[in-house]
Structure 1
Amino acid sequence: MSDASGFDRYGGPLGVLPDRTGQAEAFDAIGQYYDDAFPHKDGQLAAGRWLSDALPPGSRVLDVGCGTGVPTARQLADAGHTVLGIDLSSGMLDLARKNVPGQNAEFRQLDVAALRAEGPEGVGKFGGIAAFFALLMLPRAEIPYALRLLHGLLRPGGPLALSMVEADLDDAGIPFLGHTIRVSGYRRGELRQVVRDAGFDIVEEDTYSYAPASTDVSPSSQLRSTRGGPNPEHQLFLHCRRG
């Protein structure tokens, strides 16, 4: 996918759109089961509280990969912020609109690569951004660009709450609630560097070990321990500010 200047964003052939084949369709199919498969979201709730508390009252917040709207969009809207949630999956967005009704939240079907502040489809600027497990749905070649794009949408000094699963993966197909999705990940040192290179200062970091209710949903299941079993999933939460 290229911009008006002809710059190729992802290092691929000029003008080629990012390949999202099957990603949205998988989440359309599993949307109603998603929150049951991930019932414990302590890390995401804690990072959402940090983001909300770091913002002035009534701030405008972007929730990237908002999913069903639970817990982040609801958490931010309940705190009095105005939320724009974006997701590729129309099924997830339908659930988000039901889960987070009211004037404080709006949901749009948008690819992170299509986000622009200005223009006919522009989304404007934001006081804060949440991106919980959204960037892991991108190939590694796209993640630095996506972070720079979010940097440009964030007001100077604004907070970004970001999470990824720690895993050495690049666009790997994994089983996910009866479907196949493609995910990427980094070791934590690599993730820190990618985030800093995009212009963010990391002010705090948390790690949570997590076991989903289903064993068929974990990116870390692709990594094997020395005993031959799956490693526990380590969720990395970075509290950042636009530098």
Structure 2
Amino acid sequence: MPGTPVMKGSIVTDGDHRPPAATAFDAIGAEYEKAFAGSEAHEASLEWLLGRLEPGSRVLDVGSGTGRPTAQRLVEAGHDVLGVDVSPVMVDLAARQVPGAAFRCADIHEMPLPEKSFDAVCVYFSLLQMSREEQSALVRRLAGAVRSGGHLVLATVPLDVADVEAVFMGQPVRVTSFGAEDFAAMASAAGLTVLRQDRTVFTPAHPEAIPEPHLFLYCRRAGDAAD
């Protein structure tokens, strides 16, 4: 990122601020990857993105988790990946599992996102512990951080809920989301053209898991030629 060099295989930590999500995902750690490894929709979204990236593209992975499958697939395809996550445990796992990418332990809300500094952005289920206002503001910033013609993949659990208490993989969390139509509208309001929407139901491989709806939005920065 311009003005913030990060070497591949490195971990950068921004201060001691710990959002609530950090505590939950520190505890979940590698179990998250095991639980969600079977998501065919996630794999399909990566195939879609990989088919649209120029060689050596610069990609931001927001909520990069353990680095797999997203950062790993992108690096294996020859792309330059920066993963950002609030959980130091997740960032440590990712750096060890995907040494070809760079990872930053930081709150994405506080991180500089220069205009048009990435070719693509991935946001897989990392908005759910933000308020709707925070989600909307962040997606606007991420849209601005993508070059003209660049792509974003956004994934969420499309439920019309706000700040509800829940238990996720044994950890207490507070969840906020949009319904499917409102989530797509939020992306459009951020200046993105929604090219495609995929909806599915997925049951994580975890003893306490129940089937959950998943929504994947395939987006391009608005104002560019049709896909």
TM-score, with length taken from structure 2: 0.85
Selected match of 1:106 from 102, 118, 131: 102
* C-alpha distance in structure 1 between counterparts of 2:19 and 2:135, whole Å: 17
The answer on 1:117 being equivalent to 2:113 is yes
Give, in angstroms, the shift of residue 124 of structure 1.
7.5
* Counterpart residue type for residue 108 of structure 1: R
Q: What secondary structure sits across from 1:212 in the alignment? A: coil
Counterparts of 1:182 and 1:66 in 2: how far apart (Å)?
Answer: 20
Amino acid at match of 2:109: A
Could you tell me which residue of structure 1 aligns to residue 121 of structure 2?
A: 129
Alpha-carbon offset, residue 215 of structure 1:
5.7
How far off is 1:214 after superposition?
A: 2.6
CA distance in 2, matches of 1:195, 1:74: 26
C-alpha distance 88-172 of structure 1, shift in aligned 2 (>3 A):
same
Match of 1:54 among 45, 52, 58: 52
Deviations along 1:41-84, whole A, 9 cap, x unmatched?
A: 21111111111211111100000000000100001001110000
Aligned twin of 1:204: 196
Structure 2 residue corresponding to 1:140, chosen from 126, 132, 139: 132
Q: Which residue of 2 aligns with 1:24?
A: 22
Q: Are residues 172 and 216 of structure 1, via their aligned partners in 2, closer, same or farther at CA, if it must alter by over 3 Å?
A: farther
**1:81 and 2:73 aligned:** no
Q: Compute the displacement of 1:117 (Å).
A: 3.2
State whether residues 30 and 177 of structure 1, in contact with CA within 8 Å, keep that contact through their aligned partners in structure 2.
yes
Corresponding residue of 1:8: none
Q: 1:98 to 1:62 in 2, by over 3 A?
A: same
Deviation at 1:21? 4.5
> Which residue does 2:221 correspond to in 1?
242
What corresponds to 2:8 in structure 1?
none
Moved over 4 A (4+): none
How many correspondences in the alignment? 206
Structure 1 gap ranges (5+): 1-18, 219-231
CA distance in structure 1 between the partners assigned to 2:170 and 2:105 by the alignment: 23
Please say if 1:169 is aligned against 2:192: no
The one-letter code of the counterpart of 2:187 is V
Q: 2:43 aligns with which of 42, 45, 49?
A: 45
What is the identity percentage for the equivalent residue pairs of Structure 1 and Structure 2?
Answer: 41
Q: Considering only aligned residues, what root-mean-square deviation do their CA atoms show, in Å?
A: 1.8
Q: Distance in 2 between matches of 1:136 and 1:215?
A: 21
User: What TM-score, normalized to structure 1?
Assistant: 0.80
Checking the alignment, whether the CA contact within 8 Å between 1:140 and 1:171 is kept in structure 2 is no
Residues 128-153 of structure 1: per-residue CA shift (max 9 Å, x gap): 00001111221112111001110111
| Contact kept in structure 1, 2:113 and 2:141, CA below 8 Å | no
| Partner residue, 2:88 | 90
Q: Kindly state the Cα deviation for residue 37 of structure 1 after the two structures are TM-superposed.
A: 2.2
Contact 1:175 1:216 in 2 (8 A): no
How many angstroms apart in 1 are the aligned matches of 2:214 and 2:70? 16
